[in-house]
Structures are given as C-alpha cells and as structure tokens.
Amino acid sequence: MANSVAEFGAASAAPATRSEELFHGQPCHRLTLANGDTVLVAQHGAHVVSWVSGGRERLFLSSKTVWDGRAAIRGGIPVCFPQFNQRGDLPKHGFVRNRPWTLLTAERGDASLCLGLNGDDSIRALWPAEFEARLRVDLLPEKLCVTLEVRNLGTQALSFTGALHSYLAVSDIAQVRLSGLGGQKEWDSLADTHQSALKSLQCVGPFDRVYSAPHAPMHLHDPQGGLEISNSEGWADCVVWNPGAAGCAGMADMTPDAFEHMLCVEAAQVFQPISVAPGGYWSGSQVLRAVGA
C-alpha cells in the first residue's frame, strides 16, 4: 500500500458549491469555490475535463473530442487503468476511461467529489478481477488534487499498471520549460535511449519520455502562469509527452496545432506492475498548484 499526497478521508479546507450539468451532452459534476476556482468531472471515465484557477483554464481539452459516451475523452485528466498504453493484452490504457462511473456519497466535505467503478460481466470478460476503483477530486484555492484508489475485492493478488494522464494547458510549447526531473533516469521511447534527465526540459514535440518519479515537486514554467506538479509515492514513474505536429496530424480527435498548447505530465506506473493483496488497497495522487511563471 502507498499513501497518496492527500490522505484518504482527510477533510477539505475550503467549502464549495456543487452542481450537475451536461457538458457536450455528458453528465458532469462541478465544484465551485468562493474565489471562482472550479473543476468539472464527467461521469464518463471519471474524467476531469476542466480546472479553472485564477481565471484561467489549466487543463487542455481538444476541441475535436468525440462526446458519444463511448470514446475516450481527449484532454483533461484521463484515468488509465489497469494497463498503461499498449503494454499488455487489454485495450490501450485499459478500459475504465471508456466506462460510466457512479458518483458516490460525499465523504470529505463540500469541496470533494468521489466517483466509483466496480467490475461487471463486460469488464470481467476483459479482465477477470474483482476490484473497486475510486477517483477522488479535491478542490482548494489554486490547487487540485486527483487521487486514484484501487481496492482488491477478490481472493487473488491484483496486478496493474496505469496513470493519471494529465493534459496541462500551456500558452506556447516553444516557450515552456519543465524543471524538477534533473538527474532522474530517463527513457526516450522515440529514440529508445536511456540517460539522466536534464535540470530543465524543453518539451517541443514529438516528445515521449518516461522518468523515475521525482521525490520533490516539478515546475511547469509558462510565461502566462505556471504549475507546481506533485506526484505521490504511489507512482513509480512520470511520463512527459507532447505529440508534435506529426502526431497531431495522425489523430482524428486533435487539431493540427493542438501540440502547441498542451503538455502531458503524468503520474504513472509504466514498467513494474503494482500488486495489491486480497482485501488490500492502493492509492496514488497528483496535486496541481497554480503558481507564477
């Protein structure tokens, strides 16, 4: 078991108003703080589709996303589980991002949402495991905490990989730098090379690299306002990805220039699967904090 950045069950510090709405036809839940910060979470995939802080949208969401309740949403914070990418026999990034989740009873006050997903017959046909997944979203002034929790309800050990695949909005990828990974092990998946990460990364695409998870926060430096990014110890890896112009051109749900305005900095488990004993649970978080450039 690994603890999240914000312990499960701890009280939220700031009250919020809750509302339900349809966003592109999809049922969603919104939290809004008195300072105007807001987060919007879709039931489809328990997908965070918007986080506005300081009057600015902090997450990238593709204008060409298919909102049919079946396809994965392109942008925001997808939940990848129980498989990262195509490193296994399951659909790419697993199946939970393509499933309807259920809003659970509030456990942590007004400024929190918790959605859950259990295995059913269609899921067991893909992955014969007894589990419960929960996604908890906590909103505080200038801060968003997203926590994935997995409970093993079966009698056999549960093994999985995955990620919180956060698409961060940037003003111009050519002017953005990411710091905090310096010295960490780096695998460049495009060149298939291994090295140590530089102190400051310019992630002009195509850029697709996996890092050993840092122990301190990372910083996304953007002239229009940056982010501090903290991944909990539950995640062994950190993925940084930008598809570049050629990558966007090959995606039906991305505009040709989308790569200029996004950077994925993911809390991830890529290489070594997480194992959860029968009756046990695991949790892993990512905390985003709005800061200056």
Answer yes or no: 266 catalytic.
yes
DSSP state letter for 147: E
How far apart, in whole angstroms, are the C-alpha atoms of residue 142 and residue 217? 15
pLDDT mean values, one per 10 residues, the chain (293 residues)? 39 75 96 96 98 96 95 96 89 92 74 92 90 96 97 95 98 97 97 97 94 96 96 96 95 96 98 97 97 74
Residue 210 resides in a domain:
yes
165 is catalytic: yes
> Would 205 be classed as within a structural domain?
yes
Does 63 reside within a domain?
A: yes
Cα separation of the two ends of the chain: 35
pLDDT of residue 74: 97
Report yes or no on 283 lying in a domain.
Answer: yes
Task: Report the pLDDT value the prediction gives residue 10, as an integer from 0 to 100.
Answer: 41
pTM listed for this prediction: 0.93
Q: Residue 248 is part of a domain; what is its CATH number? A: 2.70.98.10
> Using CA of residue 195, residue 169, residue 27, residue 70, what is the dihedral sign?
negative
Domain annotation covers residue 126: yes
Q: Which of 149, 186, 260, 266 is catalytic?
A: 266
Closest CA to 181 of 158, 215, 156: 215
In a domain, 2, yes or no: no
Q: Could you tell me if residue 52 is inside a domain?
A: yes
Quote the pLDDT of residue 11.
42
Q: How many domains, the chain?
A: 1
Find the DSSP H helices in 156-227.
none
Residue from 29, 44, 47, 165 carrying the catalytic annotation: 165
The domain of 225 spans: 16-291
Contact 1, 101 (CB under 8 A): no
pLDDT at 15: 84
Cβ atoms of 102 and 134 within 8 Å: the answer is no
Residue 1 belongs to some domain of the structure: no
